[in-house]
Structure 1
Amino acid sequence: MRGNPITGAGYLVKGLKMLPDPEIRPFVIVPLLINVVLFIAAFWVLFSQMGGWIDGLLSYLPDWASFLHWFLWPLFALMVLLVAYYSFSIVANLIAAPFNGFLSEKVEKRLRGELVVDEGWKALLAMVPRSIQRELAKLVYYLPRVLFLLILSFVPVINVISPLLWLWFGAWMMAIQYCDYPMDNNKVSFGQMKLLLKQERLTAIGFGGLIQACMLVPLLNLLIMPAAVVGATLYWVEAHAGEERPLPTQGRLNRA
């Protein structure tokens, strides 16, 4: 696999550092508020239900593997955290999608040295239909794969490695979630966006993986949504913008 996970993770770090920039700061506020509400709701549900969910998953282990409980409990806890977060993110990202797209657009103008101005609610509302459509495309991509992983999580023996599969898949989905905003703004189709990320998959995994890790850090996790949008836009401008790339063929899209 091509790419560099350190490079990918570095884009999120750059995104965090860019949040205080006075030219983009006004466009960070709404995604930030949505993320705060998301985490308050997610942590309330998790801390009241997580223990029961993990015990339920461990109950599917055969008796001879009971000695693995101490090892699997933290891995399953991490898996539950990721599943719960992404489930809440589906709702949050549907709400935040136009604001995230708007933020990405302003960040790209800032990076290109163009004047960054607030074009008002009309410009934002114009993005709503397209943003919702892209979020639904991500949901269609996500659901069958997460259902497959859920099934694996209940299969004896295979479920031992399922937390690692969840980590990998979660990192990939985080990269897709946030890199889609700048690519959608630049009229890159959802299929071509996946193809571009797959060409340097390790870079995308490094970016999405650090997003996952930061989500588990109190207070820092509140900044992750806008920071990830900014970082993904930096990734687009530095790695992909301006490159001449052919549209993927249907066969290649089916494998993406």
Structure 2
Amino acid sequence: MNAPRDIAAPVAGAAGRFFSGVGLLLRGLGLYVRSPGLMLLGVVPALISGAVFVTAFATLVWFVDDLAALVTPFADDWSTTPRSLVRVVAGLAFLGLGGLLAVVSFTAVTLVIGDPFYEKISERVEERLGGTPGAVEVPFWASLRRSVVDSLRLVGLSVLFGIPLFAAGFIPVVGQTVVPVIGAAVGGWLLAVELAGAPFSRRGLRLPDRRSVLKADRATTLGFGVAVFLCFLIPLGAVLVMPAAVAGAALLTRRSLGQSTEER
């Protein structure tokens, strides 16, 4: 099944659409917190995955000085101040790359672990909005396989983008200003595409269709994805926000496909 082509042209400017994307996450949070049953469904897989990734990132922070020294052997004979400066830059580049990979990978792993939970959250959100137009029956194992394959693709893309961003992180000033902004945009886009997997799959649409549809209103997609990305950087933010992000992704999908996002 191909993605719909007749998507209404956005009427607001790019900035307005970006913030409307942020608003979709807030609406997803509202839908989520008003349903205690959904809250219980969403927290368990996020807690399991969150514990693993918090431990992994804490390990990176613990060893970041050693890693920075490892990749800057040329600075061993420098005086203290320039050597410390270049290694601080290297350390920040490692933490930036680790943060990008951790956020995207956390989402991928959590969606796989919690596939039936998050599928149910997404379905219930759409039921409140009038149901899923053109819904197709997706068997559990087929859904799980799709989730794993799509997640692996998106993690691979995050590595592909993360390596040049890591290298650019060594550039003074640019590496500490421009690169984090680009990293948030890349991570936000990947998160939005990943989180929208379930509602697109229910309509018989696969990853290429998803990308094509979401690109039609890139600003809204980025607004939603960047908001999720920044929330996931907050300690425990990923665990608490993940179910709301799943609900928001259902809203993003409906908006991108020109379907109603109003409760009935």
TM-score normalised over the length of structure 1: 0.74
- Determine the C-alpha separation between the residues in 2 that align with 1:215 and 1:191: 25
Which residue is equivalent to 1:96?
Answer: 114
Match of 1:37 among 31, 38, 48: 48
- How far the C-alpha of 1:2 sits from its partner, in A, is 5.4
1:149 aligns to what? 162
| 1:175 corresponding residue in structure 2 | 192
Aligned amino acid, residue 97 of structure 1: D
- Alpha-carbon distance in structure 1 between the residues aligned to 2:42 and 2:245: 11
Query: 1:174-212 deviations in whole A, cap 9, x for unaligned?
Result: 101111221111222211110111111121111111111
Residue 188 of structure 1: SS of its match in structure 2? coil
Match status 1:228 vs 2:245: yes
How far apart, CA to CA, are the structure 2 residues paired with 1:141 and 1:45? Answer: 20
Aligned positions of 1:170-209 closer than 5 A: 170-209=187-226
Which amino acid is the alignment partner of residue 232 of structure 1? A
Q: Which amino acid aligns with 1:234?
A: L
- 3-state SS of the aligned residue for 1:19? helix
TM-score using structure 2 length: 0.72
Tell me which amino acid in the other structure corresponds to 2:152. L
Count of aligned pairs between the two proteins: 232
Distance 1:151 1:60, change over 3 A: farther
Displacement of 1:129 after TM fit?
2.0
1:233-244 correspondence runs (5 A): 233-242=250-259
Q: C-alpha distance in 2, partners of 1:111/1:147?
A: 37
Q: CA deviation at 1:74?
A: 4.5
Of the structure 1 ranges 95-104 and 62-71, higher mean CA displacement relative to structure 2 is found in 62-71
RMSD of the TM alignment (CA)?
Answer: 3.3
Rounded to whole Å, the distance in 2 between the matches of 1:43 and 1:35 is 11
Distance 1:21 1:93 in 2: 22
Q: Which residue of 2 aligns with 1:87?
A: 105
Q: 1:45 deviation in Å?
A: 2.4
Unaligned runs of 5+ in 2: 1-12
Q: How far off is 1:169 after superposition?
A: 1.8
